[in-house]
Amino acid sequence: MLTLSAKIRKIQGKKVKTLRAKGVLPVVLYGPKIKNENLEVSLKEFEKILNEAGESTLISLETEGKKEKNLVLIHEIKFDPMSGVPTHADFYQPILTEEIQVKIPLIIEGEAPAVKNLGGTLVKNISEIEVRALPQHLPKEIKINVGGLETFEDKVLIKDLILPEGVKILRSPEEIIARVAPPEKVEEELQKPIEEKVEEVEKIEKEKKPSAEGAEGEPASAKATAGKEEKKPATATPAGQQKK
């Protein structure tokens, strides 16, 4: 089991910025049967533990000055939006004899033949899955082998997952986790109608132009009306009023 050392944190509030500047991460320890404690840990060591254990594997938290070790889960990490560096974290101490619910990341392994041989694209519908188990049985991650996706009809389902003993999944066994989608086909036939439509529009536009100008083929009454409209003076005012 991975171990992380901690110290009692006396600095709180806005002053914790001074800790972060020194490479120290402020954390809080809490749980159903303990009092909340403000602690601090090495940021470098925390990032190493997080990378190895994730947020669903128990680690041993050793607090300076205390004999007992706390078995905890890393929980509720806050990151700096610019640098992506952790700025705060919680450690949750569960009751080891009671099952808890947590989300476990799903990790793709292998290469799908339908991607390699048929040019398809691997589609991952679910990236993490909620499970229930005793804290000590929780895995860091659940791996999915996609080597069986040979055609576009093949799928990896929830029921196909290989789980550690005592871990129960809280989703339908028939849900699709991963599949391979066929490549987008750009056929020449799809280009032809577009070109033909463009030509058709251009033809219609050409036919519209002469009719708007009173071209041949326009009804005589329409020509006469058009002529009258063109001879009208700029009209809003009656002629009698213009003379004034």
Q: Tell me the pTM.
A: 0.66
User: The tokens of 10 are what?
Assistant: 């006396």
Report which of 206, 212, 205 is spatially closest to residue 230, judged by C-alpha positions.
212
Tens digit of pLDDT for each residue in 64-82?
878 788 899 998 899 989 8
CATH homologous superfamily for the domain 101-181:
Ribosomal protein L25, C-terminal domain (2.170.120.20)
Helix, coil or strand: residue 236: coil
More confident residue, 185 or 179: 179
Q: Judge if 3-94 and 101-181 fold alike in CATH terms.
A: no
> Closest Cα partner for 74 from 95, 49, 43?
49
Domain 3-94 in CATH: superfamily?
Ribosomal Protein L25; Chain P (2.40.240.10)
Q: What is the rounded (10 degree) CA torsion for 75, 76, 81, 85?
A: -30
Domain ranges of the chain: 3-94, 101-181
The model's pLDDT over 95-148, given as tens digits with 9 standing for 90+, comes to 999 999 999 999 999 999 999 999 999 999 999 999 999 999 999 999 999 999
Owner of token pair 């101490």: 93
Cα 24 to Cα 122: distance, rounded to the nearest angstrom: 40
Which residue carries 């699709």 as its tokens? Answer: 176
pLDDT bin (cut points 50, 70, 90) of residue 204 is low
